[in-house]
Structure 1
Amino acid sequence: MGFKRIMTCVDFSHDITNRVLTVSGELAQLMKAKILLTYVVEREVPLLISEGIVLPKVELEKFEGMYRLLEDKSREKMEGLARELAEEWQVEVKPVVLVGEPFDMILEKAEEEGADLIVVGSHGKKGIERLLLGSVSEKVARKAKCSVLVVR
């Protein structure tokens, strides 16, 4: 079985991101596959808004500005990572920055792009947050329509 479109998901945590990139690079080079290097900017509704307290429009605009800046900085970082990965492993890499709930966005983009393998890191949420919500990698592995490789 050969993979031709590998969706590689990163979260910028140094150790796990490096391992995910190495595994994806090796696989893509071996199988002559294209990498879709993916990062999701998680848009969280501010706690006050989710509790039913409405913030003034000016405050909401500050949140929007913060998310736009975060998206722009994430795109810059992803373009750099994509160049490094492409040069190191001599593979085609397309950087993608998505905004939303990470596991939903990963699954949606994987299907849209026809990914036949999703590579994710095993770490992320910890403690009670992981117990209540589950990790992104666990949700992706359970719900993806293609193969998933969880890197530890």
Structure 2
Amino acid sequence: MLQQYTKILVAVDGSYEAELAFRKAVEVAKRNKAHLFLIHVIDTRAFQNVSSFDSAMVEQVTETSKSTMEEYIKTAKEAGLDDVSYSIEYGAPKTIIGREFPKKQGIDLIMIGATGLNAVERLLIGSVTEFVTRTSTCDVLVVRSDLDNSPALDVVNKRSTIEG
């Protein structure tokens, strides 16, 4: 018997890799007749170093995130997936995506883009993807290619060559 997922979580952060994960997650959710949860985590540690911290900054980031998430919902529905929702969370992305949200919602599959960080950035701040794959208690699918199975790195490298 094939594994059927019922609650799929996809983390989106505006990166190209997250976009690939979202597009594949929509297709997997449709095939499994699963509920797709979209999550965006606002890393509150980024605000701790701002000396003139005010709530207007958090509100602006939240509003931008809401409009982005609503676009994702619209895209998923246009692709034929009706059972989709989103959540904007605040805190450390690693633990929220890898542990807290999946436990709270009963997630049985996390789909996440391969890290967009370079080696130095991974060393200094760590990779959310790496943490999620190492610590999650449910299945994790790391998306490394687009819907045509072209490697994401090929597309990113082509884009940077064109832009550079």
How would you bin the TM-score normalised by the shorter chain?
0.7 to 0.9
Normalized against structure 2, the TM-score is what?
Answer: 0.78
Are residue 98 (structure 1) and residue 92 (structure 2) matched?
no
In structure 2, how many angstroms separate the alpha carbons of the residues matched to 1:31 and 1:124?
A: 28
Are residue 111 (structure 1) and residue 113 (structure 2) matched?
no
In structure 2, how many angstroms separate the alpha carbons of the residues matched to 1:30 and 1:4?
A: 10
State the Cα distance separating 1:86 from its structure 2 match: 2.2
In structure 2, the residue matched to 1:38 is 39
1:83 touches 1:93 (CA, 8 Å); kept in 2? Answer: no
Are residue 131 (structure 1) and residue 132 (structure 2) matched?
no
State the Cα distance separating 1:18 from its structure 2 match: 2.8
In structure 2, how many angstroms separate the alpha carbons of the residues matched to 1:126 and 1:89?
A: 35
Q: Mind listing any 5+ residue stretches in structure 1 that lack a counterpart? A: 49-54
CA deviations 1:3-59 (Å, max 9, x no partner) are 00000111111x3233112210111111100100111111224447xxxxxx4xxx2
Instruction: State which of 12, 20, 35 in structure 1 corresponds to 2:14.
Output: 12
In structure 1, the residue matched to 2:160 is none
Normalized against structure 1, the TM-score is what?
Answer: 0.84
Are residue 66 (structure 1) and residue 67 (structure 2) matched?
no
1:118 touches 1:149 (CA, 8 Å); kept in 2? Answer: yes
State the Cα distance separating 1:126 from its structure 2 match: 2.3
Instruction: State which of 118, 143, 148 in structure 1 corresponds to 2:135.
Output: 143
1:9 touches 1:39 (CA, 8 Å); kept in 2? Answer: yes
Structure 1 runs of 4+ off > 6 angstroms?
Answer: none
Amino acid at match of 2:114: S
In structure 2, the residue matched to 1:86 is 77
In structure 2, how many angstroms separate the alpha carbons of the residues matched to 1:69 and 1:99?
A: 14
CA deviations 1:42-90 (Å, max 9, x no partner) are 1224447xxxxxx4xxx232xx321221011101110121121122033
Worse-superposed segment, 139-148 or 17-26: 17-26
Amino acid at match of 1:118: I
In structure 1, how many angstroms separate the alpha carbons of the residues matched to 2:129 and 2:93?
A: 10
In structure 2, how many angstroms separate the alpha carbons of the residues matched to 1:117 and 1:72?
A: 28
In structure 2, how many angstroms separate the alpha carbons of the residues matched to 1:39 and 1:2?
A: 25
In structure 2, the residue matched to 1:3 is 5
In structure 2, how many angstroms separate the alpha carbons of the residues matched to 1:25 and 1:6?
A: 9
The count of corresponding residues between Structure 1 and Structure 2 is 140
In structure 1, how many angstroms separate the alpha carbons of the residues matched to 2:119 and 2:77?
A: 35
